[in-house]
Amino acid sequence: MANQNISVWEFLFGGGLLSVSLIIILIFSGIVAIVFFAQKLFALNRENQVDPYLLKNVTDLLNDGRVQSAVDFCRRDNSPESRSVEKGLSRLGRPVSEIANAMETHAQIELNKAEKNIGFLATLSGAAPMLGLLGGVLILASTFGGLSKTDTVISQNLLAADFYKALAPTVVGLVVGFLSYIFHNILVGKVDYLLMKIQYHTNEFLDIINKPA
């Protein structure tokens, strides 16, 4: 008996219209997830690059009474941390509590910007496997619905032929969901790290301006 191997292409696109449609949707969703992840990861890595001497330079400029120079330095650095420090510098002379509130509000703005659209990956990580499973179930339901109209031998062959067709959207959905889950967790870790750095620079800046003369 000849050994018949099913190619990947046949496995993915050898089913009916429903199976192929779902697989195309899932593959397209996976490609969108990969592109989004790559772009967001690049953006977050760029945002996570900060001058290690930011606070030292700002402190030196403030000690020299050069507040505007400190503001200009933060603008040139243009990182989330420097933008937060700049927000504090723009309010020097006001109560420390007001400065702290302004910096915390700005930190929340930076966080919201960093988190923008990341929820798409979390949604896809759950929706893709369910969509694939739904497609598999519908294909099998359609197959079983037609078994009663055929004889036993044909029914067995039909069930065997359609079983792998039902698996295809399920497998693709699981792969897309798994990748989306990993991508989402990586980006969340990057965002958490960014927030931690902003909070650190905010607290250090508040300590600097609140030191007794």
Is residue 139 within 8 A of residue 20, CB to CB? The reply is no
Mean pLDDT of 151-163: 57
pLDDT of residue 191: 93
User: What's the token pair of residue 99?
Assistant: 């400065």
Max CA pair span of the chain: 95
User: What's the token pair of residue 169?
Assistant: 């959207």
C-alpha 102/C-alpha 92 separation (Å) is 11
Mean pLDDT of 185-211: 89
Confidence of residue 209 (pLDDT cuts 50, 70, 90): confident
Write the Ramachandran bin of 117: left for phi over 0, alpha for psi from -120 to 50, otherwise beta: left
Report whether pLDDT(16) > 80: no
pLDDT of residue 63: 86
Kindly report the average pLDDT of the chain as a whole number.
83
Question: Any idea what DSSP says for residue 72?
Answer: H
Stretch among 73-87, 110-124, 127-141 having the lowest mean pLDDT:
127-141
Instruction: List pLDDT tens digits, range 47-72.
Output: 888 778 888 888 888 888 888 998 99
Report whether pLDDT(1) > 50: no
Q: Residues 63, 64, 68, CA angle at the centre, nearest 5°?
A: 100
Report whether pLDDT(79) > 80: yes
Question: Any idea what DSSP says for residue 14?
Answer: S
C-alpha 51/C-alpha 74 separation (Å) is 10
Confidence of residue 3 (pLDDT cuts 50, 70, 90): very low
Provide φ and ψ at 149, rounded to 5°. -95, 5
Strands (E), 28-79: none
More confidently predicted of 181 and 213: 181
Name residues whose C-beta falls within 8 Å of residue 146's C-beta, 6 or more positions apart in sequence: 158
